[in-house]
Amino acid sequence: MPVLTVDSAFLQKVTEVSKWNEQPPADLLTRALDDYIDKLEWEKLAREMKAFEAMRDELLNEYDGKYVAIHEGEVVGVGEELSTLHNQIYYAMGSVPVLFERVTTEPKREIVIRSPRLEAVA
């Protein structure tokens, strides 16, 4: 198992937080790192979406109606079916965040999910 070295001030802070949060330090660090990695993945996908939008006209000329996979601002895959393209990219690149979008002039559908609001009863 890999060993991560941290400075004593950070270790002290983790120890204190884990005490008042009643959570083992390893669980605290795992959750914090998972949350941070999720944030980085979403930021990467936002950059890939900007690249997709910047290339939209060019993509329409070449791939209209098809799905494209965008990684590091470049098209790394094209396919007729999303699931097939996703599998190809996953097997080639692993679980790297890659944007999959259908190239079309149609506007994206916006989906709104309403959730109930809970209020305390007096």
What is the domain extent for residue 66? 8-102
Indicate if the pLDDT at residue 110 is higher than 80. no
What pTM does this model have?
Answer: 0.75
Q: Is residue 73 part of a domain?
A: yes
Q: Quick one: pLDDT at residue 14?
A: 86
Decide if 86 is inside a domain.
yes
**How confident is the model over 41-76, as pLDDT tens digits?**
999 999 999 999 999 999 999 999 999 999 999 999
Residue 57 forms part of a structural domain: yes
Residue-level pLDDT at 114: 77
Query: Could you tell me if residue 108 is inside a domain?
Result: no
Let me know if residue 116 belongs to a domain.
Answer: no
Considering the domain boundaries, does residue 32 fall inside one?
A: yes
Query: Rounded to a whole number, what is the distance in angstroms from the first to the last CA of the chain?
Result: 53
Domains identified in the chain, total number: 1
Q: How far is CA 47 from CA 23, 54, 63, 69, 73, in A?
A: 35, 11, 20, 13, 8
Does some domain include residue 30? Answer: yes
What pLDDT is stored for residue 82 in this prediction? Answer: 95
**Residues 76 and 98: beta-carbon distance below 8 Å:** yes
pLDDT of residue 5: 87
Contact 64, 103 (CB under 8 A): yes
In this predicted structure, the answer to whether residue 78 has a pLDDT above a threshold of 90 is: yes
The verdict on residue 18 lying in a domain is: yes
CA distance 86 to 64: 18
